Homo-oligomer: A and B are copies of this chain.
């Protein structure tokens, strides 16, 4: 590969990002590996993702692949991060397209984007919201990408609650302190009552999406789009969003 480009990056070269032709080739190969792995993921699922098969398809030998990913789980981790980012970006794009609309509209736009992405990439969705890989615990690197959708939902609710306070159901005393800590962590400017139901709605959204993607609605819910829309509108209502 690469032979074409006019290389000789020069002594100095760009001081910034890629230090030379080798570095560029490295990220190119790394990306090719991830692409091929994603292809196999989409076909056979994560469990059958085989390093050897990826290498074979790329015309290299399996051991060469370990120069780029120290283990199969590390490849999976890379795919997980990419999946979180892909989902997050999809959601953000969908949100920005209706950024000027009312909070309910923005909320449903995000939820429907999540659902659409999940249906379009079921195996990648399974990777990030399905059963976690057995031995493996997600490195801290995955945290920011994983938070993107949640932060979006928080932002929508925050905008809606700015100024006019919405009627909020009181918290049970046993949840009081936890809700306050939670609110201080994720949305200091929102009342704890709202944050508690918002986090719940966040999880419930993925319950709806997961049931559809994983086939739990088979032979039960048939016309799923209006069903989802209705459920998501009720979630919006439950966190205090109103039209307008």
Contact = CB atoms under 8 A, between A and B. Distances in A.
Contacts of A233: 172
Interface in A174-221: 174-175, 177-179, 181-182, 185-186, 196-197, 199-200, 203-208, 210-211, 214-217, 219-221
Contacts of A48: 134-135
Nearest to A207: B207
Interface stretch (A2-10, A23-31, A125-133): A125-133
A200 B135 contact: no
Given A199-B221, A203-B207, A133 B47 contact: yes
A178 B229 CA distance: 13
Contacts of A238: 234, 238
A121 B238 CA distance: 31
Contacts of A172: 226, 229-230, 233
How many copies of this kind of chain does the complex include? 2
Contact of A131 (B130, B143, B169, B199): B130
A188 to B, nearest CB: 15
Question: How would you classify the secondary structure of chain A's contact residues: helix, strand, loop or mixed?
Answer: helix
A126 B230 CA distance: 28
A126 B12 CA distance: 53
A92 to B, nearest CB: 19
A240 to B, nearest CB: 12
Interface in A94-149: 126-127, 129-135, 138, 143
Interface string A155-171: 00000000000000101
Interface of A: 44-48, 126-127, 129-135, 138, 143, 169, 171-172, 174-175, 177-179, 181-182, 185-186, 196-197, 199-200, 203-208, 210-211, 214-217, 219-223, 226-227, 229-231, 233-234, 238
